[in-house]
Amino acid sequence: MSGRRVAVLTGAGCSTESGIPDYRGPKTGRPPSNPIMHAAFLRSPFVRRRYWARSCLGWPRFAAAQPNLAHKALALLEAAGHVGGIITQNVDGLHQAAGSRDVVELHGALATVKCLLCGAAFDRHDVQQRLLQDNPLYSTHATTLAPDGDAELPSEMVDSFRLPVCFCGGDLMPNVVFFGGHVDAPVLQNAWRLLENADALLVVGSSLTVFSGFRFVKRAAEWGMPVAILNQGPTRADTLAQLLVNAQAGPTLSALASIAV
């Protein structure tokens, strides 16, 4: 893809080297057994309580994650004009933290929280302080981080958790698209813009099992656009790619950037 302006599509495998686990990496091979479903979060107080109880524990480690070699290499490639922009399925904000400028977050960002009633927006760090004030025991509980920034938690701790609410009394939701949800039209339009302005597509760290990411590879193939996939393990789009690289994202992209920049 030398000499081409590349659009990049990233998935959870781009952030595993920052300590954020993925859903279907080479070690797991499958999605979580009980993920948060978008529609269920909206309609069920129990699901909202389950999410926020787990998120209260997982947020400190998630928020402390730093950009890894892959994020930094992509930012360098963008600054040098080789990468036109990044479409990411991740919700961690690490591309922006590494210096990437044109980033479309397909599934939103955990750093912001919205009220489901009035639409008010809140900083997740501020919400965390409120959660700990209302649920002080959760600040000392040991936990295992999960891909959505939440954590594994015994059911009895979920049952007693006090939910966060907006000043208007409405329920709060992280500004993300959970499983089964739909990407907002303006976000999708921005993602298509990046692809349309590119000469090639590079996929980094995604199995492309979820259609929200796979659609871009499918469209690129329909247009006759070259596709390269850098991922550990097979993907849904292997037959559509001209180049498959089964390797870690960080070292591979760093080596690429050292040559191209």
If we measure between CA atoms, which residue out of 186, 190, 137, 189 comes closest to residue 160? 137
Q: Pick the catalytic residue: 107, 125, 141, 182?
A: 107
Q: How far apart (Å, rounded) are the C-alpha atoms in residues 250 and 70?
A: 4
Catalytic residue at 107? yes
What 3 state SS string does the chain have? CCCCCEEEEECHHHCHHHCCCCCCCCCCCCCCCCCCEHHHHHHCHHHHHHHHHHHHHHHHHHHHCCCCHHHHHHHHHHHCCCEEEEEECCCCCHHHHHCCCCEEECCEEEEEEEECCCCCEEEHHHHHHHHHHHCHHHHCCCCCECCCCCECCCHHHHHCCCCCECCCCCEEEEEECCECCCCCHHHHHHHHHHHHCCCEEEEECCCCCCHHHHHHHHHHHHHCCCEEEECCCCCCCHHHCCEEECCCHHHHHHHHHHHHC
Q: How far apart (Å, rounded) are the C-alpha atoms in residues 246 and 23?
A: 17
Q: How far is CA 8 from CA 18, 106, 124, 235, in A?
A: 19, 13, 27, 16
Q: How far apart (Å, rounded) are the C-alpha atoms in residues 211 and 18?
A: 25
Task: Give me the active site residues, please.
Answer: 107
